């Protein structure tokens, strides 16, 4: 896989997504620093949901979001979208002061 088109994105010239590991002291600061397949939390209109980075292009990342009714849908976000760490969990930044633990979507109570 060639990463030649990713080199201009970071100020230090490091391609996004290649050198991040959860043990880093600072952690990811932008969505583009997470690799494809990374899980994160996303705020929908009604609640917090789990999302996975499923695709990356030159300027956007595609998130696959799980719906509580069993469906999935895709969202497109900029690679420069801010990520905040809550412990070791990456959270896509949301402007409200709501804690994600209070309103996390319930997917299936049987398990």
- For the segment 40-90, what is each residue's pLDDT rounded down to a tens digit? 988 888 888 889 999 998 889 999 998 888 889 999 999 888 888 888 888
Please write the tens of the pLDDT for every residue from 96-105: 667 777 777 8
Is residue 19 within 8 Å of residue 33, measured between CB atoms?
no
Is residue 91 within 8 Å of residue 85, measured between CB atoms?
yes
Query: Is the pTM above the cut of 0.75?
Result: no
pLDDT band at 26 (very low <50, low <70, confident <90, very high): low
* Secondary structure class of 110 (helix, strand, coil): coil
Q: Taken in order 29, 38, 36, 49, is the CA torsion positive or negative?
A: negative
Is residue 53 within 8 Å of residue 34, measured between CB atoms?
yes
């Amino acid at each position: 896989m060639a990463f030649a088109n990713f080199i201009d994105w970071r100020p230090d010239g490091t391609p996004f997504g290649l050198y991040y590991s959860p043990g880093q002291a600072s952690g990811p600061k932008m969505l583009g620093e997470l690799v494809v397949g990374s899980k994160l939390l996303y705020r929908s209109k009604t609640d917090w949901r789990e999302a996975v980075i499923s695709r990356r292009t030159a300027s956007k990342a595609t998130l696959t979001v799980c719906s509580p009714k069993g469906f999935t849908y895709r969202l497109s976000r900029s690679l420069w979208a801010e990520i905040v760490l809550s412990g070791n969990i990456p959270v896509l930044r949301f402007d409200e002061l709501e804690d994600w633990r209070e309103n996390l979507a319930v997917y299936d109570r049987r398990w």
